[in-house]
Amino acid sequence: MCSYMATLGKRAKDASRCAARLGTIEKNKGLLSVAEELLIEKDQILEENQKDLIRAEENGMKSSLLDRLKLTEERLKDMADGLRQIAALDDPIGEILSMKNRPNGLRIGQKRVPIGVVGIIYESRPNVTVDAFGLCFKTGNAVILRGGSDAIDSNKAVVRAIKAGLRKAKLSQDMILLVEDTDREIVNEMMQLHGIIDVLIPRGGKGLISNVVKNSTIPVIETGTGNCHIYVDETANINMAAEIIENAKTQRMGVCNACESLVIHENIVQQALPLIVQKLKCHGVELRGDEVVCALNNDVIPASEEDWGTEYLDAVLSVKTVKTFDEAIRHINTYNTGHSEAIITNNYQHALRFQDEVDAAAVYVNASTRFTDGFEFGFGAEIGISTQKLHARGPMGLLALTTTKYVIFGDGQIRN
């Protein structure tokens, strides 16, 4: 148990005990100090990020993933602003959620407390490093980060800046620990630190997530994969539908809340398809459709069964027609990944039924799926988007990183 990973775990556990006792003022000072330091060290960080980008390009990384990896002065500024926004948020720690007097005079309250040590395993998005630290630190948790080898130079530089910011605020630098060893075996060790790491959050592709779910003995919050649908109902406003689809598919291709599949009611497909295809063509989006769609438009390639379940993260969109509203619901509940789903409709009942019956973290009426995001939801940042049902579902902000304990005030009560 003196391995590299066990030692990191022990350091994080010790740091978490300190973190839990920090007051809001100290934590906010730390966050602002780190925000400042990120901008002070921006040239070094961008330089290190360049190394990662060059290596990734040489390895043939596709453009949507390169976009995730890339840092710019603008993005660094956004990251620092994110920390300042977190500092400005109310500190949820210590809040008593409800305090009730029981008939026997016991006062029972539920107090919000830090989880302890949060472990995050992620791929090549260095902005996660800063967001994760900010949210974990504000909620009194220590964090162990295991980023992808693709982003190792960026992550090292970012963590160096965070630690410098903490040091300047006279805080323990162990509040954030980066697993610098990129050996895959280390991840397996990390997933077995039950009792040391209190929760493990994987952020990345399907393979990463299912590996963690299968092999971790630590409780896991599943995040991520988004096979998001937009359903164009019979009564949809076609212009609105086309604009929302264009936005949800093309505003940023490589992200989990991008639209990957259209479902269109047969009675509107003939009218709606030309406008949708026209908008998407400008962005070079390839369409893969069922027979009805292919018959209506020569640009559409026939879709295979596999397409309905695929998260492309790229300029591809599947298109399926349905004969009824119920068929749309069934199709979406069969192939979705529990992330974000939207209906475009003017039918009141369909709007409500879609929200009731589609099983996903975020269900939209007449809006783009791209809004599923901690910033857009007003949380100040996000630690990931949970696609599972326990503890947290949808974009996770500060509250997802807290737990509660019951505090009971008595004056000698015994149970009868």
For position 251 contacting a second copy by CB under 8 A, the verdict is yes
How far apart (Å, rounded) are the C-alpha atoms in residues 337 and 174? 35
Give the number of residues in contact with a second copy, rule: CB under 8 A: 65
How far apart (Å, rounded) are the C-alpha atoms in residues 309 and 28? 43
CB 271 within 8 A of CB 236: no
For position 172 contacting a second copy by CB under 8 A, the verdict is no
CB of 236 to a second copy, least distance (A): 11
Burial class (CB in 10 A: 0-12, 13-18, 19+), 333: middle
Q: Left, alpha or beta for 105 (phi > 0: left; psi -120 to 50: alpha)?
A: left
For position 408 contacting a second copy by CB under 8 A, the verdict is yes
> Footprint of a second copy on residues 326-355 (CB under 8 A)?
351, 355
CB of 393 to a second copy, least distance (A): 6
Number of Cβ within a 10 Å radius of residue 277: 21
Burial class (CB in 10 A: 0-12, 13-18, 19+), 103: exposed
Task: Out of 33, 155, 225, 372, name the contact with a second copy by CB under 8 A.
Answer: 372
User: Interface with a second copy by CB under 8 A: which range of 59-67, 157-165, 315-323, 369-377?
Assistant: 369-377
CB of 163 to a second copy, least distance (A): 26
SS3 assignment, position 169: coil
For position 273 contacting a second copy by CB under 8 A, the verdict is no
Task: Out of 58, 60, 74, 214, name the contact with a second copy by CB under 8 A.
Answer: 214
How far apart (Å, rounded) are the C-alpha atoms in residues 97 and 132? 25
CB 289 within 8 A of CB 303: yes
SS3 assignment, position 93: coil
How far apart (Å, rounded) are the C-alpha atoms in residues 24 and 102? 31
> Footprint of a second copy on residues 216-245 (CB under 8 A)?
217, 219-221, 237, 240, 243-244
Quick one: which of 331, 376, 384 has its CA closest to 358?
331
Task: Out of 188, 270, 324, 404, name the contact with a second copy by CB under 8 A.
Answer: 404
For position 97 contacting a second copy by CB under 8 A, the verdict is no
User: Interface with a second copy by CB under 8 A: which range of 131-139, 173-181, 308-316, 359-367?
Assistant: 359-367
For position 24 contacting a second copy by CB under 8 A, the verdict is no
Burial class (CB in 10 A: 0-12, 13-18, 19+), 287: buried
90 vs 27, 140, 204, 212, CA distance in Å? 11, 13, 29, 32
Task: Out of 54, 99, 106, 295, name the contact with a second copy by CB under 8 A.
Answer: 106
CB of 275 to a second copy, least distance (A): 14
Task: Out of 54, 97, 295, 407, name the contact with a second copy by CB under 8 A.
Answer: 407
For position 411 contacting a second copy by CB under 8 A, the verdict is yes
Task: Out of 77, 84, 111, 160, name the contact with a second copy by CB under 8 A.
Answer: 111
Binding footprint of a second copy on the chain (CB under 8 A): 21, 100, 102, 106, 108, 110-111, 115-116, 194, 198-199, 213-214, 217, 219-221, 237, 240, 243-244, 246-248, 251, 351, 355-356, 359-368, 370-372, 376-378, 388-391, 393-395, 403-415
